[in-house]
Structure 1
């Protein structure tokens, strides 16, 4: 009976019968499709049976594997794959366990066909998204087995097995990366197997026959491995990318891929990584490669690694690459260059050391060539900061040359637009200091760097050699470009600095190559500044100086002096060709003809062999350049040469020319105050401010007590004495019919002209001396007026001895009072000069330069009651006078500077009555008109004061909402865009005493820009506003996208934090948390992007194309921006204004 029951199929469970029915009697017939559909339907309608179906199928397949019935194994796996794909239920996890056990059995089989079948089934499984991931499932076995298949050596099945192994790894990676599992695919134990398997197949791309290539054209192991490596790298994050890079470096080391001829395979691997990695993580790859340089001491291997680095370092770098990672990479490259100079490159010979050196410099050039121009300027300044201050030994000298080569690599990639930007004081000063080095090679490199930066019109090759006929070279000057650019690029101070350094260098012995480079550099500067009279003045002064050096400097060799004469005539010919004056051209032609006949050695080219009988000490005067003749020709042509006489000349020391070392190099110790320049009208380019002059002590005492005496004005005793003297001179009865003639008043500027500045005095000394000179001049003028008045009174009294008229007594007394008042006013104007000087001394930038000096100054001012004196001075000033307004402005600036540097001064100022004075002013001007308020905020933003943050906050509120429409238009009219957008582009450096963070500053500037776009919809103001976003190659659009990604990351971090905290927050509270985490600024930034992209205009398409370009570079899309703005619109208020804004935002979303 039992035997009969065992053979009776109806006694089996139904799921077993259904499974048995799908297998045909003969394996060659294949799966029974109709029965498979029945089984699938049963599994879908009875999901609780799915796990039992899987177990029974696994049992049958295992039995067939052991019996080597491969046909039935294939049928069973086909059924399991079909069920896996068709059934989506919560019980699928239990079925998957049976499925994976079956795949494992197949992989353990020695049959290659079954291994291939297992990998294909596993790949299908990895493409299924499970409803509930299994946290206890592991894939260790599959990673091991698939990695082994990637290294299969079976000749018959080699390619198929390797392809199947890669497919299996692809399935493991997809399953573990896309789902939140306990299994961490980034664990080193997995990466150490996966990465070598991928790299091994990438580098074993054997030649296949035509039939095989046609069959598996897109499925070769090499292509599949490369694609899988790219997908793996693309899925990495900041915390996981290192687990991928370490096995890559180990594999390249073990297989000696660095040592290949062209390093093709090593470059191929790192190119795949750099092109696939997220752009903000690419710097990690570069950093790891540079760190790998320290793992070896062999110069040969270092050079090979650096060569690979140079070939891949520029990938992924673009205009959006910002942040500290840029300077970190530059600094790391410079450190490796510096190590070379210390002899730390290990053995291997000078050849490999030179190769290593060249590779690092190439890497530096490739990296910076893809950075924006503004970062290149910062990098060049940064490189110069690494240059040793002195070359004490050969190592320092070698380091200097290497740093200059690095600087030249950056300069080659930089496109100079504005000299004021390129040649900043922080960059130009150390560069010119290095030019003074006695090493000829160093001088050549510095001149080469200057030529590269100066040449904007491709004149370098044409001017590589001195020429007497430069007009025939086809040179391009600045007249070929827009006139606006000419004005912006006028490098007056740059020329002065460079030419004065050249004068010092030329006083020393130089090779002919240096002199040729000197000519090329000066010639390029002339071509770029040929539209400037100042450039003509400086060039003529340089030419005359070169000739003087050649004529009187006996320390130079005869060859060097003859070459200097040739250099001077070559530059004169260039000057004549640029100014295009017939009289000057004729003079230069005559001079050249005369030298060709009688002194050919004073003409180019420069040579080392001159006739020994030539004497440089006795040149023919007719063959020398005559300065007066040239000046006369230039003046007749309308050139302004007034500055020629005011240029500093060499007197006793040859170093007097090099005045940039006392100004630019010492820029940290002295900066001109913006407030004092505006208020007092000082001329920064005056001769009194000319640098480079030796300082001498000032003989007269200038102390705080003297300032205090001037501030107090005339004492009551002095006033009484003055009134007495006036009354003694004038007799009322004698002046009945008398109108005195006043002494002719000389303008104050003529008195100032009589004062000759001592160029050896400091600024403070000159200011104090001018102050006393003006005081003495005014007093002398008053004495002259009174003397004339006394003389004429005496004369009139003789004519009318008995005239009396009491009616005019009051009138005459009023005249006397006015005279006394004039004297007081002169004292007041004198006190305003003292206020200017104190404001200059207490400028906040100046105070921060020296803590000890600032403390001493403020303590001295405090001890001498500076606060009461300033408040008393305010009481005497009136707003009806422009001069008094300047005095009020500077007085308040002094108080603000003192309080900002030493907050304890607040108490002294309050005790002195500053609040009382301010309250009176408030009562007089309770209502501040709107236009004046915007102008005031605009002025406060332009000044680098602590009040700037408050002004920015005021503008943020004043421009917001529909009620700020008039304010927005008014701000554009008062040129507020020039102030707002620099703040928008760059966050000011945070001061220790200023509590505004960078995020708060960015939020306010973005809010202002968004308010302007929202409230200014038409008119010229709208056009001016939109034009700002197209300036300087769309730099403001780049800034918007930079802020978009910054705050998008902040919002993502906030959302992840909220998920981890698991607080019970309602929807509104969650939204508020996100707003605080950066969503508010992100919404405004994305609104601005949409507004400028959807505007109707010719530049809109260009802006939109730039936005899409940057988004593509960052692997982002416009959907994110749309969703953010859509959410922004959905959370606006329900009132009428909010509804209209909402509709406008939704329209922008549809257009974008």
Structure 2
């Protein structure tokens, strides 16, 4: 999968810069712009001050439970003590001191504070301590801090924070608190991807994952909904466990309902465009899971993708991408794809039509290339999975002379980009190894292999008119059927091992049969 939400990350960093500037102004007002060199003594002193302020505030809240104005001053001092820990973000080499002097459990405990401002600033400080720009040269210390936070049950506390902020649409403090909570979670996952596994704690509400599903489905368009959709995509891409939990939470249906709102109404602005793109990314990540296939069938996901591709030009690539992931290793979804009349748009995109209107030539080329890769993947899935019969005949009937010419034209483009496959294809016992194979993948070998599958399936159909045209056009470009077979031999050599998953044995057998047909 591709990285998601780069614009969202820019938005997050921009807001972080604003908050940092506010913080610097606050420090200047308090005379703390210049601080002593951060060292172990400094960390101990800051934590001692924070504990003192926390204890004073607790006592004041107990003593004046019904008189908020009496403990307000202690709350302000506590908030200032929390913010002072931001100085540590410039010296991540001293994070071990923060851990050693029990600063982590102290900060985690303050997340449960009744004052949203205190909770917000705790999340802000922790997110800044783990910000990628702050720790890029001290990743070991940042990872140690992340692990300590996880050990001190931070993830569960973050869920509690998110669920407490139920009025964020009207309350700016709650809105900022949600933002910093999501930022902290993202920074932790960036540093330690395994953190993504802990966002579903098995509770009925589904932990943070459950909160995200609900937040993303919200009708109100705002920056936190967009950010939540980005985080959800990251968590689904990071973990099969999350994908399975997402299915349990009926997340696919929720996503489809949110996407369906844009069938007749275009996104209002860049914020909604990013949100919609994130929804498609979430769906793609889920579609990769074998267990998701039945849910995609039940919820008629392909039907919606067809509608979105017809109604919304800007969602055509994303819709086809979802189809590409969904159809992989699923006979029933492949048959459903043919049944919902998507072959027309599919082959139009295959011919390079209907893309990139109203954009620059460079952008149009990028869009066309991405769509081309998804279309090739869908064609390969259809011709491998749809069984002999009326549906398969409908697919083959689309391969007119013009389409076969295009098939070989694309093969030639990728073949020139990839280069010779001879050693990798013909020397299964040695020769070039994994490194060379990975290098060829970077140059487009996967698409070349998918095109070889399409060509091989067309040839093995036994339809004389298709065979004659395919062979004629291939020879015009200087290729033989054995060249298609060579790409499939490389796939056989590197894509299968002794520990085959369900369905891989069948796929391998099918591939071996195609190779024998193309290169007897």
Please give the TM-score of this superposition, normalised by the length of structure 2.
0.50
Quote the offset at 1:431 in angstroms: 2.9
What residue in structure 2 maps to residue 505 of structure 1? 345
Q: Structure 1, residues 955-980: CA drift from partner, whole Å, max 9, x if none? A: xxxxxxxxxxxxxxxxxxxxxxxxxx
Are the equivalent residues in 2 in contact too, given 1:233–1:277 (CA < 8 A)? no
Q: Distance in 2 between matches of 1:324 and 1:544?
A: 45
1:320 aligns with 2:320: no
Which aligned pairs between 1:1002-1017 and structure 2 lie closer than 5 A?
A: none
Structure 2 match to 1:536: 388
**TM-superposed deviation, 1:386:** 0.9
Match of 1:163 in 2: 44
Map 1:725-744 to 2 at 5 A.
none
Give the 3-state SS of the residue equivalent to 2:213 in structure 1: helix
Displacement of 1:521 after TM fit? 1.0
Matches within 5 A, 1:750-1149: none
d(CA) in 2 for partners of 1:515, 1:153: 56
Deviation by residue 1:899-922 (Cα, 9 ceiling, x = unmatched) = xxxxxxxxxxxxxxxxxxxxxxxx
User: In the TM superposition, what is the alpha-carbon distance from 1:231 to its structure 2 partner?
Assistant: 1.9
- Check if 1:284 corresponds to 2:160: yes
Match of 2:97 in 1: 223
Deviations 1:367-404 (A, max 9, x none): 33345333333323211101245644543697477424
Distance 1:181 1:374 in 2: 44
Q: Shift of the alpha carbon at 1:573?
A: 7.2
Q: Name the CA distance, whole Å, in 2 between partners of 1:598 and 1:152.
A: 73
SS at match of 1:323: coil
The aligned residue for residue 49 of structure 1 is: none
Contact 1:404/1:446, CA 8 A, preserved across alignment:
no
Determine whether 1:446 maps to 2:322. no
Map of 2:256 onto structure 1: 384
Question: Match of 1:437, SS?
Answer: helix
- Separation (CA, whole Å) in 2 of partners of 1:274 and 1:188: 31
2:375 to 507, 510, 518: 518
Asked whether 1:411 is paired with 2:411, we answer no
Residue equivalent to 2:414: none
| Cα gap change, 1:504 to 1:250, in 2 (>3 Å) | closer
Residues 328 and 196 of structure 1, relative CA distance in 2, 3 Å threshold = same
What is the CA–CA distance in structure 2 between the aligned matches of 1:415 and 1:167, rounded to whole Å? Answer: 49
| Structure in which a larger fraction of residues adopt helix | 2
Q: Give the C-alpha shift of residue 498 in structure 1.
A: 0.4
> Which residue does 2:235 correspond to in 1?
367
Gaps of 5+ in 1: 1-150, 208-216, 346-355, 457-488, 551-560, 604-636, 638-1152
Contact 1:196 1:251 in 2 (8 A): no
Distance in structure 2 (CA, Å) of the matches to 1:154 and 1:432? 57
Paired residues of 2:126 and 2:184 also in contact (CA < 8 A): no
Q: Among 64, 67, 76, which residue is 1:192 paired with?
A: 76
The 3-state SS of whatever aligns with 2:472 is: helix
Cα deviations across residues 33-70 of structure 1 (Å, max 9, x unaligned)?
A: xxxxxxxxxxxxxxxxxxxxxxxxxxxxxxxxxxxxxx
1:248 and 2:122 matched = yes
Q: 1:545 to 1:401 in 2, by over 3 A?
A: farther
Aligned to 2:307: 434
2:112–2:161 CA contact under 8 A, matched in 1: no
Q: Would you say the 8 A contact 2:379–2:454 is kept in 1?
A: no
The residue matched to 1:395 in structure 2 has which SS?
coil
Matches within 5 A, 1:252-263: 262=133
- Distance in 2 between residues matched to 1:247 and 1:409, nearest whole Å: 30
Q: Mean alpha-carbon deviation: is it higher for 369-378 or for 231-240?
A: 231-240
**Structure 1 pair 383–161 and aligned structure 2 pair: CA distance change class (3 A):** closer
How far residue 542 of structure 1 moved from its aligned partner, in angstroms, is 2.7
Query: How far did 1:453 drift?
Result: 3.4
Q: CA contact under 8 A between 1:361 and 1:405: conserved in structure 2? A: yes
Match of 2:215 in 1: 332
**In 1: Cα distance, 2:317 partner to 2:396 partner:** 23
Contact 1:230 1:276 in 2 (8 A): yes
Cα distance, 1:499–1:206 mapped onto 2, change above 3 Å: closer
Contact residue 213 and residue 232 of structure 2 kept, 8 A: yes
1:188–1:243 contact (8 Å) kept in structure 2: no
Is the 8 Å Cα contact of residues 451 and 521 (structure 1) preserved in structure 2? yes
Alpha-carbon separation, structure 2, partners of 1:401 and 1:373: 21
Secondary structure of residue in 2 paired with 1:373: helix
Cα contact 1:306–1:360 (8 A) shared by 2: yes
Given that residues 346 and 375 in structure 2 are in contact (C-alpha distance below 8 angstroms), is that contact kept between their aligned partners in structure 1? no
- Displacement after TM superposition at 1:499 (Å): 1.3
Provide the C-alpha distance between the structure 1 equivalents of 2:41 and 2:326, rounded to a whole number of angstroms: 58
* Structure 1 residue 523, shift from structure 2 partner: 0.8
Distance 1:335 1:249 in 2: 23
Q: Which runs of 5+ in 2 are unaligned?
A: 1-31, 190-194, 354-367, 412-449, 482-512, 514-520
1:638-653 alignment, distance < 5 Å: none
Q: Which of residues 402, 424, 428 in structure 2 aligns to 1:562?
A: 402
Aligned length: 364
Alignment of structure 1 residues 580-599 onto 2, 5 Å:
584=462, 589-596=467-474
Of structures 1 and 2, the larger Rg is shown by: 1
Per-residue CA distance 1:328-383 (angstroms, 9 max, x = gap):
3234346599446xxxx9xxxxxxxxxx97x6654222233345333333323211
Once the two structures are superposed, residues 576-611 of structure 1 have per-residue CA deviations (whole angstroms, 9 ceiling, x without a partner) of 846996x939986544233457899xx9xxxxxxxx
Which residue of structure 2 aligns with residue 698 of structure 1?
none
2:398 is paired with a residue whose SS is helix
CA-based RMSD = 5.9
Separation in structure 2 between the aligned mates of residue 205 and residue 517 of structure 1, nearest angstrom = 43
Structure of greater relative contact order (alpha carbons < 8 Å, 6+ residues apart)? 2
d(CA) in 1 for partners of 2:184 and 2:205? 25
Q: How big is the shift at 1:283?
A: 1.6
2:389 aligns to what SS in structure 1? Answer: helix
For residues 666-677 of structure 1, what are the structure 2 equivalents within 5 Å? none
Distance 1:452 1:163, change over 3 A: same
* Aligned CA distance change for structure 1 residues 195 and 224 (closer, same or farther; 3 Å): farther
* CA spacing shift, 1:401–1:426, aligned 2, 3 Å: farther
Give, in whole Å, the separation in 1 of the partners of 2:102 and 2:88: 15
Name the structure 1 match of 2:298: 425
How far off is 1:153 after superposition? Answer: 9.3
How far apart, CA to CA, are the structure 1 residues paired with 2:115 and 2:204?
20
1:546 aligns with 398
Whether the aligned pair in 2 keeps the contact of 1:450 and 1:521 (CA below 8 Å) is yes
